[in-house]
Amino acid sequence: MDDTGTVVAFYVLSALTIASAMGVVVVRNLIHAVVFLILSFMGVAGLYITLSADFVAVTQVLIYAGAVSVLILFAIVLTPTGDRGNQETFLRLPALLLALLVAFTLGYVAIDTDWAISDREGFQQTASVIGEALLDKYVLPFEIASVLLLVAMMGAIMLVRPESGVEGE
Amino acid sequence: MSVDLDHYLIVGAILFSVGLYLALAKRNFVGVLMGIELMFNAVNLTFVAFSRFVQSPNPLDGHVFVVFVITVAAAEAATALALAVLLYRVRNTINVDRIDLLKW
């Protein structure tokens, strides 16, 4: 990936993603943190596009920037007298040290390892190939995922249902 | 100047670390969940980057895996946020340092 547009897009999107993620850490209001989180998700979707992963990029925008962030907002709104702040606990310093350690370790390993790089071009189309793979090679995980989603949905409904569920009877 | 695998892996590592810090250090349960979602995103970015750059007979399998990870992450988010609402109902707080029933 040598053309100038891709390089510029990569650096801009990486800066956006990481700066927004830092914003989630720094900002003091939980609602603002969710807004920064959405921005970070959009940045990751842009990075997917620079990797010619169009289907995953669209899924990212739909599921993360759309559904998951709205779920998080709902969780904040449904806890009205709860704390709207975004403070850290007493674990702040150990967590910071551990996060820095993880970042340096992963970064060092990523640079130091000699990956088997291929010289193929970017993918032409991914959605049809992913769809065929899901219904052919990965049909069993696909079905298990649907059962998992059903169980998660039923579990979430069961958990937040009001205690007095007998009005209808 | 060119962008190759290492650049994406480093972005993924930084994003994962920020998510790890959020998940470990935030006081609000929803903040912890935001950190977990960021970690999922970092891992997915790494998957897609490997799928694009590394030799493989089926390079798009990485994308399929990312689709499954997103599915499981959505299920996890729904269940965890239901737990947050339930926790708020029972204890009237979602600060993780005040949920210490099992603390001796």
**pLDDT the model gives residue A83:** 67
**For residue B13, is pLDDT > 90?**
yes
**pLDDT the model gives residue A169:** 43
**Residues A38, A56: Cα–Cα separation, whole Å:** 16
**pLDDT the model gives residue A88:** 81
| A22 and B CB contact within 8 Å | yes
Fold classification of A1-88 (topology level): Four Helix Bundle (Hemerythrin (Met), subunit A) (1.20.120)
A9 vs chain B: nearest CA distance in angstroms? 10
DSSP 8-class letter at A161: S
Where helices occur in chain B by DSSP H, the ranges are 5-25, 29-53, 61-91
Prediction ipTM score = 0.91
**Domain positions in chain A:** 1-88, 124-164
Q: State the CATH class of domain B5-98.
A: mainly alpha
Integer CA distances (angstroms), B61 to A18, A44, A50, A103, in order: 27, 19, 18, 26
Would you give per-residue pLDDT tens digits along chain A (169 residues)? 668 888 999 999 999 999 999 999 999 888 999 999 999 999 999 999 999 999 999 999 999 999 999 999 988 888 877 667 778 888 889 999 999 999 999 999 999 998 888 888 878 888 999 999 999 999 999 999 999 999 999 999 998 887 765 554 4
Q: What would the pLDDT profile of B34-92 be if each residue is shown by its tens digit?
A: 999 999 999 999 999 999 999 888 888 999 999 999 999 999 999 998 998 888 888 88
Q: Which residues of A are less than 8 Å from B25 in CB distance? A: 88-89, 91-92, 95-96
Between positions 121 and 160 of A, the ones with CB within 8 A of B are 122-123, 126, 129-130, 133-134, 138, 141, 145, 148-149, 151-153, 155-157, 159-160
Here the contacts of A61-69 (C-beta below 8 Å, separation 24 or greater) are A63/B70, A63/B73, A63/B74, A64/B37, A64/B41, A64/B70, A65/A38, A65/A41, A67/B74, A68/A41, A68/B37, A68/B73, A68/B74, A68/B77, A69/A34, A69/A37, A69/A38, A69/A41
**Residues A136, B58: Cα–Cα separation, whole Å:** 13
**Domain positions in chain B:** 5-98
| A76 and B CB contact within 8 Å | yes
B89 vs chain A: nearest CA distance in angstroms? 8
Q: Which residues of B are less than 8 Å from A126 in CB distance? A: 60, 63
Beta carbons of B38 and A110 less than 8 Å apart = no
DSSP three-state, residue A49: helix
Q: Which residue has the higher pLDDT, B98 or A155?
A: A155
B14 vs chain A: nearest CA distance in angstroms? 6
Neighbours of A108 (CB within 10 A): 12
CA angle, corner A134, sides to A132 and A137, nearest 5? 85
B18 vs A21, A155, A156: nearest CB: A21
